[in-house]
Amino acid sequence: MTFVDASNAPVRYTGEIKLYGQEAFEGMRRAGRLAAECLDMLTEHVRPGVLTQEIDDLAREFVTERGGTPACIFYRGYRHTVCTSVNHVVCHGVPAKKALKEGDIVNIDVTVIVDGWHGDTSRMYSVGGVKRRAMRLMDVTYECLMKGIEAVKPGARLGDIGAVIQEHAERQRFSVVEAFCGHGLGRIFHDAPNILHFGRRGHGERLAPGMIFTIEPMINAGRKDVSLMADGWTAVTRDRTLSAQYEHSIGVTEEGCEIFTLSPVGRHTPHSDAPVI
Ligand code: MF3
Ligand code: CO
Ligand code: CO
């Protein structure tokens, strides 16, 4: 694998890992912040009776009113601003005239473009009170993301990220989805490298300052296997057990990494606001 200076690289997928400079980091901060603010705004709207399509409308209006562009609209034929993945939906749940109900757990994933830069982030939300096991799954998924992020520093390897995530999930007898991964991003939405959420310490590409990518583990309460629904988007657990996901966009720095999509108001885990029933 080769590293290339992003400022001289073409804005398309080449399979090379791009290294970005200060200007890119500043662009990613603005995009990441808007994506995070969108998820902050949605928190109070996630309650029983709300349609996932209404959540999508709120997100689209919020992003466009602030000068951002929803990256997912027209992306490979997708037509919405967010993905809303409820209960056994692993990812890419399509907003629809579908009401959320008490006890549901839902991932909302938004990607915005600001001045050409992508901010990609997702969080879990509880709809009213949720069962203990659902709460535990969401807690562990967030911990997996943050442990993965803590492993990011120059000289560490991609396999180190996957290993800490897999070890933490499997220690709780949960499983890691292998069919989807994190990704490089910047001016391109899904770029090299793939960020696997499982793996072996000491294996894979070495991390270098200037790399920008997402970490977005999907953790299942049951088995790791995934099926795709007939709409061509919605991925579900094959055994129909619950699945959870959290995502941040990050950049590798000399010291470690910078998270571009942190909630400016500290709503890092909206799922934990709910009572356990
Ligand atoms: N935001 C998702 C990701 O984390 C991608 C969604 S693509 C879409 O990479 F087209 F389904 F929106
Ligand atoms: Co992503
Ligand atoms: Co995303």
Q: Which of 146, 106, 113 is nearest to 34 (CA)?
A: 113
Query: What was the pLDDT predicted at 84?
Result: 99
Under 8 Å between Cβ of 33 and 62: no
Q: What CA–CA distance (Å, rounded) separates 204 from 160? A: 8
Ligand 1 neighbours by CB, cut-off 6 Å: 72, 75-76, 78, 83, 92, 109, 111, 120, 216, 247
Under 8 Å between Cβ of 69 and 63: yes
Residue nearest to atom 2 of ligand 1 (CA): 109
> What residues are paired with 113 via a beta bridge?
69, 118
Query: What was the pLDDT predicted at 161?
Result: 98
Distance 237 CA to ligand 3 centre (A): 18
Q: Which of 63, 148, 73, 142 is nearest to 105 (CA)?
A: 142
- The residue-averaged pLDDT of 264-272 equals 98
Q: Are strands 226-228 and 182-184 parallel, antiparallel or unpaired?
A: unpaired
- The residue-averaged pLDDT of 244-272 equals 98
Which atom of ligand 1 lies at the shortest distance from residue 233's CA? 11
Query: What was the pLDDT predicted at 258?
Result: 98
Distance 189 CA to ligand 3 centre (A): 9
- Please give the residue that has the higher pLDDT: either 68 or 7: 68
Q: What pLDDT digit, counting tens, does each position of 220-241 carry?
A: 999 999 999 999 999 999 999 9
Mutate to test the pocket of ligand 1, among 39, 73, 75 (most ligand atoms within 8 A of CB): 75
Sorting pLDDT into bands at 50, 70 and 90, what band is 97? very high
**Within the chain, where are the H helices?**
22-42, 52-65, 132-150, 158-171
Percent of the chain with pLDDT over 90: 96
Mean pLDDT of the chain: 97
Query: What was the pLDDT predicted at 211?
Result: 98
Mutate to test the pocket of ligand 1, among 56, 72, 180 (most ligand atoms within 8 A of CB): 72
Q: State pTM to two decimals.
A: 0.98
Mutate to test the pocket of ligand 1, among 111, 113, 231, 261 (most ligand atoms within 8 A of CB): 111
- Please give the residue that has the higher pLDDT: either 167 or 8: 167
Biggest CA pair distance of the chain: 54
Query: What was the pLDDT predicted at 1?
Result: 63
Residue nearest to atom 12 of ligand 1 (CA): 72
